[in-house]
Structure 1
């Protein structure tokens, strides 16, 4: 799946998770329901100004919406960590909240796994 092909499913997921109706979102974004449906179904990709409205509305980055990264957060450190390590955003957040001693133990476990692989 190309990066741009990730846009429609990500938009659908964001809409579903938010619990908002397509009609209400279209109104909030000042677009027609038909245009929003085209975006959700992958028939069209929004222009830059509409992408920015979507990022502001859902609190995600344009890079996430467009499939350039799998981290939706606007926190640059978390995005970089996800992109560099391949870990999910949730995993990076869990790691960043762990005690240093636990992170060190996990690091040793990963290194051990690497040797037996």
Structure 2
């Protein structure tokens, strides 16, 4: 069952998405034509947006609606900053190369990329 209707979860998710993208309330309200006080009530968990506004926010952030209405979990990544950066990359067409490179490069090049990533991981241990 989803957290549909849980104002606190929605508020946390909106704030997390804003923080991860460096977007403030004024910008979102201007971009989406929302009243600042209404949006602030959503971010503070005082009220819950209608489904059409949830869809508007999901499209704005480039995420499924479930990412707004369900409790956020860290998921695959153990490092929160890495998870947020990957989400940032996933939502930027110019950065999707990291997610679609496998279809365009050879097996040998993929292996080189994996080796490089492994070296980076060792560097940070």
TM-score (norm 1): 0.56
Residue in 2 that maps onto 1:90: 77
- RMSD of aligned Cα (Å): 2.7
CA distance in 2, matches of 1:36, 1:23: 9
1:16 corresponds to 2:3: no
**Mapped contact 1:15–1:21 kept (Cα < 8 A):** yes
Instruction: Return the match for 1:33 from 17, 32, 36.
Output: 36
Could you list the per-position Cα deviations for residues 50-69 of structure 1 after superposition, in whole angstroms to 9, with x for gaps in the alignment? Answer: 111110111111112111x6
Counterparts of 1:1-117 in structure 2, within 5 Å, are: 3=3, 4=6, 5-67=8-70, 70=72, 88-90=75-77
Could you list the per-position Cα deviations for residues 89-117 of structure 1 after superposition, in whole angstroms to 9, with x for gaps in the alignment? Answer: 437x9xxxxx9xxxxxxxxxxxxxxxxxx
TM-score (norm 2): 0.53
**Mapped contact 2:29–2:35 kept (Cα < 8 A):** yes
**Structure 2 SS opposite 1:15:** helix
Q: Aligned residue pairs: how many? A: 77
**Structure 1 SS opposite 2:48:** coil
**Mapped contact 2:11–2:44 kept (Cα < 8 A):** yes
**Mapped contact 2:15–2:43 kept (Cα < 8 A):** yes
CA distance in 2, matches of 1:60, 1:53: 10
TM-aligned CA distance change 1:29 to 1:89, over 3 Å: farther
